[in-house]
């Protein structure tokens, strides 16, 4: 164990797992709960990173987090507005916003394709000063875990309120939401705004964690987050709300360990996207594959029986 996994590898997998879990939670809300494939995730993540990094560079690493979340709310609102008010297909709405955000992200980074935060304070350097004497090198994990767990707790509480319940019902039966005198357009908008803010928060935390922001950082983020979500749901099941949120975090951490193992075994980093694409494709198609396999078995059995009868 120790020879294969050094402490640093375990720590960084946990840290990244917790940070990216925010995106998995965002997709839990938009994909699992609202039943909307929100494809603006990739650039919304970078939006959070760009805005967060810029604010941190201006000397406000803590303010950077709410600022990034606000930007994410804006992105989510636009995606929702296009699909609920203007009748744009939900997948297309996400793609349109994703495309537009690329320019917005560049603008937020001062029209440079990357920023570095090596010379400025981040939430992690601030935590280092306070926590390192107490818990040593675990301080980074503490910061990431506190942020993610706080967000998860807030989301759990929110989804139990009546507004949260109506958001959950929207993905389940929009007719019924309307019958409860709530406009589904409203619940979708609130849901996507929250989802956007979580994605952007993840971007902001990651930017400060790795002390840099790159315009291509979020490539494939939606697939990776979906993979995490599915890994978690497969292991924990789709039971109670609290468990499902924990599953998103667990899935994200496991995904990072898979990545760590792959890197340790010298799989080139470029191949990881293909791995996550495969995980998602197989996981989402597995119910259908099971049906096809069961049919095939039945057909084969029937044929065999007929032969036996002759």
Partner 1 sequence: MLKLNHVSMTFNPGTVNEKKALNDVSLHMAPGDFATIVGSNGAGKSTLFGAIAGSFWPDEGEVILDGRDITFEPEHRRSNVLGRLFQDPMRGTAPHMTIEENLALAYLRASKARNAYFSRVTKQDKADFREKLALLDMGLEDRMTQPVGLLSGGQRQALTLLMATLVTPKLLLLDEHTAALDPATAEKVLALTRDIVAERQITCLMITHNMKDALGLGNRTLMMDSGRIVLDVSGDERAGMTVDDLLARFAANAGKALDNDRILLSEMG
**189: helix, coil or strand?**
helix
Smallest distance, Å, CB 234 to partner 1? 18
In the complex with partner 1, the residue whose CB is nearer, 184 or 196, is 184
| Shortest Cβ 227–partner 1 spacing (Å) | 22
Q: Which is nearer to partner 1, 44 or 169 (CB)?
A: 169
Structure tokens at 231: 């890994």
- For the CA atoms of 64, 66, 69, 71, the dihedral, rounded to the nearest 10 degrees, stands at -70
Q: Is 213 helix (H, G, I), strand (E, B) or coil?
A: strand
**Under a CB-based contact definition with an 8 Å cutoff, are residues 25 and 248 in contact?**
yes
Closer CB to partner 1, 52 or 184, in the complex:
184
The residue among 91 and 179 lying less far from partner 1, judged by its C-beta, is 179
Cβ distance to partner 1 smaller for residue 160 or 237: 160
Query: What's the min distance (Å) between Cβ of 190 and partner 1?
Result: 9
| Residue (of 165, 57, 40) closest to 110 by Cα position | 57
Burial 96-116 (b: 16+ CB within 10 A, else e): bbbeebbebbeebbeeeeebe
CB 233 within 8 A of CB 101: no
Least gap, CB of 150 to partner 1 (angstroms): 18
Question: Between residues 114 and 180, which has the closer beta carbon with respect to partner 1?
Answer: 180
> Rule CB under 8 A: which residues touch partner 1?
157, 160-163, 165-166, 168-169, 172-173, 175-184
Compute the least distance from the CB of residue 93 to partner 1, in Å: 21
Contact assessment for residue 47 and residue 64, using Cβ atoms and an 8 Å cutoff = no
Q: How far is the CB of 179 from partner 1 (least distance, A)?
A: 5
Nearest in space to 126 (alpha carbons), one of 109, 150, 108, 142: 142
Helix (H) or strand (E) holding 214: strand 212-214
What's the CA dihedral at 7, 10, 16, 20 to 10 degrees?
-160
Nearer to partner 1, 60 or 178 (CB): 178
What is the nearest approach in angstroms of partner 1 to the Cβ of residue 161? Answer: 5
Give CA–CA dist 208/185, Å, rounded: 35
Burial (CB < 10 A; 0-12, 13-18, 19+), residue 302, is exposed
């Amino acid at each position: 164990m120790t020879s294969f996994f050094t402490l640093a590898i375990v720590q960084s997998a946990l840290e990244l797992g917790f940070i990216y879990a925010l995106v998995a939670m965002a997709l839990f809300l938009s994909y699992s709960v609202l039943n909307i494939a929100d494809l603006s995730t990739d650039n919304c993540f970078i939006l959070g990173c760009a805005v967060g990094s810029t604010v941190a560079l201006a000397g406000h690493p803590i303010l950077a987090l709410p600022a990034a979340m606000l930007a994410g709310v804006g992105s989510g609102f636009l995606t929702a507005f296009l699909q609920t008010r203007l009748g744009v297909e939900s997948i297309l709405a996400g793609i349109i916003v994703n495309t537009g955000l690329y320019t917005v992200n560049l603008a937020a980074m001062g029209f440079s394709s990357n920023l570095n935060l090596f010379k400025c304070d981040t939430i992690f350097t601030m935590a280092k000063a306070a926590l390192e004497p107490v818990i040593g090198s675990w301080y980074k994990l503490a910061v990431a875990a506190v942020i993610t767990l706080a967000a998860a707790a807030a989301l759990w509480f929110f989804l139990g309120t009546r507004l949260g319940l109506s958001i959950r019902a929207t993905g389940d039966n929009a007719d019924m939401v309307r019958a409860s005198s709530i406009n589904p357009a409203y619940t979708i908008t609130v849901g996507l705004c929250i989802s956007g803010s979580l994605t952007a928060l993840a971007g902001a935390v990651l930017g400060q964690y790795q002390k840099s922001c790159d315009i291509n950082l979020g490539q494939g983020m939606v697939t990776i987050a979906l993979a995490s979500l599915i890994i978690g749901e497969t292991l924990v099941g789709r039971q109670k709300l609290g468990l499902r949120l924990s599953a998103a975090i667990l899935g994200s951490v496991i995904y990072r360990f898979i990545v760590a193992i792959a890197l340790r075994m010298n799989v080139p980093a470029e191949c990881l996207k293909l791995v996550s694409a495969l995980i998602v494709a197989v996981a989402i198609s597995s119910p259908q594959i099971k049906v096809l396999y069961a049919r095939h078995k039945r057909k084969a059995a029937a044929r065999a029986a007929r032969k036996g009868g002759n």
